[in-house]
Amino acid sequence: MMKKVLLGLAALSCVSLAAEGTNVYLKAGADVFQRFDEVKYEGEKLNKDKGDDFGYELTVEVMREVYPNLELGLGLSYQDHGDPKKNTTGDWILDNTGDLYDLKTEIKGFKSVPLYAVAKYNFPVEGNIKPYIKADLGYSFNSDKGDVKISVLGEGSTKRSTKVENGLYYGIGAGAEYNNFVVDLMYKVNRAEIKISDEGNRIKKDLDYSRVTLSVGYKFNF
């Protein structure tokens, strides 16, 4: 994960040093609404779609005005999506006796480092408050935060080896700038596929993470 962050920062540094008139945005964001894909196995849900933990991100974007009011550039973000809520399922038959057990399954979330192209249009209005719209499109390097945990009431727990694959990243939203301070609200999606090893079987399911992110930051002019 750290190598990916350093590689992305190196790419952004090259862009910022290549030309004058570059804007560098440093931002921190919090997810005000979260949703994971529900992972199902043999007809049962292994997680709930709501998030159980706080999601946040730290972002740097390097852009340049290529046309009046239109900025284009590259962005890099470190994102921790938290974990999906655990799911407790009754009436699972776990052995040949036909006995029913209460089963609790816990799927860990994942972290992402997306490297993406970004476009930002600043509306030409009078005054110090300048509204804008922006869009991101790139590739998300994902890493899992732990294995799937399966707990049976009164029987203990086991873990299943888990891996989260990389995928597409995109976002769209709007914001405003005031004296180089920026605030924006964006809808973002990190595509991901979870792979779970279960007694020799390999289960592949989507675990996309979507949310609405509120970010604040500052623009540095070079």
Nearest by Cα to 79 from 164, 182, 202, 13: 164
Q: Does 78 reside within a domain? A: yes
Q: Does 45 reside within a domain? A: yes
Q: pLDDT tens-digit profile of 146-167?
A: 777 776 665 666 777 788 899 9
Q: pLDDT tens-digit profile of 209-222?
A: 999 999 999 999 98
**Number of domains making up the chain:** 1
Q: Which residues pair with 64 in a beta bridge?
A: 22, 72
CATH number reported for the structural domain that contains residue 141 in this entry: 2.40.160.20
Q: Does 200 reside within a domain? A: no
- At 142, the pLDDT band (50, 70, 90 cuts) reads very high
| pLDDT score for 56 | 95
| pLDDT score for 12 | 53
User: Bigger pLDDT: 49 or 183?
Assistant: 183
Q: Does 204 reside within a domain? A: no
Q: Does 151 reside within a domain? A: no
Task: Residue 10: give the domain boundaries.
Answer: 2-82+111-145+167-192+209-221
Which residue matches tokens 């009078």?
Answer: 126
Q: pLDDT tens-digit profile of 94-133?
A: 555 555 556 677 788 899 999 999 999 999 998 899 999 9
Which residues, including other chains, have CB under 8 Å from residue 201's CB and lie 6 or more apart?
A: none
**H helical segments located in the chain:** 2-18
Q: pLDDT tens-digit profile of 12-22?
A: 555 554 566 79
Flag the least confident range among 38-42, 51-55, 69-73. Answer: 38-42
Flag the least confident range among 36-50, 55-69, 177-191. Answer: 36-50
Q: Does 185 reside within a domain? A: yes
User: What average pLDDT does the structure give for the chain?
Assistant: 83
Phi-psi region of 145 (alpha: psi -120 to 50; beta: other; left: phi over 0): alpha
User: Bigger pLDDT: 23 or 3?
Assistant: 23
Q: Which residues of 16-42 are buried (b: 16+ CB within 10 A; e: fewer)?
A: beeeeebbbbebebebeebbbbbbeee
Q: Does 159 reside within a domain? A: no
Q: Does 104 reside within a domain? A: no
Statement: residue 44 has pLDDT above 90 = no
